[in-house]
Amino acid sequence: AQTVTQSQPEMSVQEAETVTLSCTYDTSESDYYLFWYKQPPSRQMILVIRQEAYKQQNATENRFSVNFQKAAKSFSLKISDSQLGDAAMYFCAYRSAGDDKIIFGKGTRLHILP
Amino acid sequence: EADIYQTPRYLVIGTGKKITLECSQTMGHDKMYWYQQDPGMELHLIHYSYGVNSTEKGDLSSESTVSRIRTEHFPLTLESARPSHTSQYLCASRGWGAFTEAFFGQGTRLTVV
């Protein structure tokens, strides 16, 4: 069975600084998709960024970028120029190309220090 | 703004009651999901559906049931609520296509007393 591991339950970063959230996953599949979702306090979960396993180029969305290491089964999220609005729970998620199940990690709570 | 709605937002109910948590989406998505989010915020998949009249159990053993009679509607039913069911329940939907993202509702916070 596939698993997703986020080893950092909580992290803090100074406003305007850069922070990296870690995610590793375990799968025997070669075709899959990886996602980072953000859940702000008392608000809906939203997508931050996504990556196809067959694409070697790391995805980037404005201040958010990933470091995808397929051989190491690692998918970290880098947030540059951290802003107060980035404070949230961040979830790493995995979905096999041949399945509809979306598997989430336990999440990392990110605090932004003013 | 994602058009997926969950009702009620908050519910306090007595042990043994039957309850149905509603989830509706107006995006025409064929995939829908129910997750239970525990106090530590971890998400557990309890049910999912890949279309009308198709439902599957997730990884978390659950005493709940679901139905998918219409594309837009995916209700979750607890036949007999227990204190162990106290949790936040998140509904999500995803459109057709391999790389599509999931859209989430705002959640239902259920307390069973």
Given pLDDT bands bounded at 50, 70 and 90, which one contains residue A99? confident
Asked if residue A98 has pLDDT above 60, the reply is yes
∠ CA A99-B5-A106 to the nearest 5 degrees?
50
Please tell me which residue of chain B has the smallest CA distance to A33: B99
- Whole-angstrom Cα distance, residue A109 to residue B40? 10
∠ CA B35-A9-A101 to the nearest 5 degrees?
30
Q: β-pairing, A46-52 with B64-66? A: unpaired
Residues in chain B: 113
- Whole-angstrom Cα distance, residue B48 to residue B64? 12
- Residues B38, B84: contact at Cβ < 8 Å? no
Please provide residue B12's backbone torsions phi and psi, each rounded to the nearest 5 degrees.
-115, 125
pLDDT score at B81:
94
Please tell me which residue of chain A has the smallest CA distance to B96: A100
Given an 8 Å threshold on Cβ–Cβ distance, is B106 in contact with A106? Answer: no
Asked if residue B30 has pLDDT above 70, the reply is yes
A97 chain-B contacts, CB cut-off 8 A: 98
Nearest to B45 among A44, A50, A101 (CB): A101
How much is the average pLDDT of B30-55? 92
> What pLDDT digit, counting tens, does each position of A14-43 carry?
999 999 999 999 999 999 999 999 999 888
Given an 8 Å threshold on Cβ–Cβ distance, is A33 in contact with B99? Answer: yes
Given an 8 Å threshold on Cβ–Cβ distance, is A47 in contact with B42? Answer: no
pLDDT score at A23:
98
Given an 8 Å threshold on Cβ–Cβ distance, is B92 in contact with A102? Answer: yes
> A10, A23, A43, A45: best mutation site toward chain B, by most B Cβ within 10 Å?
A45
pLDDT score at A1:
78
Asked if residue B2 has pLDDT above 70, the reply is no
∠ CA A41-A37-A104 to the nearest 5 degrees?
105
HSE, side-chain direction, 13 A CA sphere, residue B60: 22
> What pLDDT digit, counting tens, does each position of A55-74 carry?
889 999 999 999 999 999 99
Instruction: At A29, list the tokens.
Output: 């599949």
> What pLDDT digit, counting tens, does each position of B51-109 carry?
999 999 988 777 899 999 999 999 999 999 999 999 999 999 999 887 889 999 999 99
Please provide residue A85's backbone torsions phi and psi, each rounded to the nearest 5 degrees.
-70, -5
Q: β-pairing, B64-66 with B76-78? A: antiparallel
Given pLDDT bands bounded at 50, 70 and 90, which one contains residue B42? confident
CA distance A99 to chain B (A): 9
Q: Does A47 touch chain B (CB under 8 A)?
A: yes
A103 chain-B contacts, CB cut-off 8 A: 45, 59
pLDDT score at B1:
54
